[in-house]
Chains A and B, each alone.
Chain A
Amino acid sequence: MDRVYILIMGFLSVVIVNNFVFTKFLGTCPYLGVSGRLDTAFGMGLAVTFVTALSGIMTWLIDFYVLVPLGLEITRYICYIVVIAGAVQLVEMYVKKFFPSLNKSFGVFLPLISTNCVILGLCLFINIWGTDNLLEVTVLSTGTGFGFAVAICIMAAIRENLILADVPESFKGAPITLITAGLLALAFMGFTGMIQ
């Protein structure tokens, strides 16, 4: 029972309290660039969640069973990058084959997921946190991807309404988006301390 409790708390913690976009600023590029429409943002969020979960688990396995026993930690970053690029390729092939319509709406953004900082960031943070069992890694990586999806969907919904707002000419586009993100980060700070 304790273990399930820890897992649930870990999941909530990376989704809400330690949301990667609002507390670690990872994945800010797609966050500013893509999140103009809610449906695209939702699809993007799901794709990122899947890639994050897959590469989080795979990099942890490689790290734990190959790199550390062989003393090859120095090649860690290169291995991570190769794994992530492979995972993205896999998702791309899958989507192309089974969801051709979704593939069209993603366009060029799908291959660009591999340079999304959330994914590499998560692999590195799992390493820093020193997580040492596969179940926890799975929960944390799924949660992180899910947190990114939540953040990008909230932002897309706000931006759909922001079109109607009367923003000063110079602040249109990225500046107002960043300030909105600041206010959102402030709101998410309210969750701090909810989970120890």
Chain B
Amino acid sequence: MYHTSKIKVKPFMKMADLIDANPSLLLMLQHFDIDFRVSDQTVVQLCTQYGISENLFVSIANLYNGFGTKGHEPFNREDLARVIDFLKKSHHYYRSDKYPQISSYIRQLQVNHTEKELKLLEKFFHEYFTEVIEHLDYEDNVAFPYFITLLNSDNDREKEEIYSSREYSEHHSDIELKLQDLKNLLLKYVRIEGDLDLRRRLFFALYELEFDLYIHSLIEETILIPSGVGIEREQNA
């Protein structure tokens, strides 16, 4: 689920074929609020049905497939509103799907094994999870509302509110770093006897989370922030 495919997505391609080549795109559909039963529709048809611009959909799909967003058409305000919606949906996925899943695996591991390191591992994960929630809250309560105000305003009165994209990316790197630590601890150091099914499920969940977090920050850094700066400039002109 966390692999990328080196197929460059183009508007006339069939969505079902694209999913077949890279199942991670299902996650993208879900973040766009698109049903998985895509029938025989092409990317263009799907975009029309759900009212998403082809430009935006293709750009994000290509991020999932391992390509950069270079050379896309500029995104308009409607696209950016969609992007924010997309990012909010992915927050929901972290909060109510991925983290509880990982958390329950770690708890189960602790029940099955007496090693005390596992208790510490659980503590580690909880501290980490708390930080992640803080970051998601920050985006939901500070960063996204700022962007929405920016999108809806025609003058520059709102710009007093300072939005720091640097603060933004610092948060991100910290989140990725701790996740890396967790994987390294499990892959290299913490000894656990057997229980391979559970441990594999845990690894897969961690890699799925890592992959979506990675795309999430790519979307913010290559689409949301540059386009936000573009709108600010336009307003100043």
The answer to whether A binds B is no
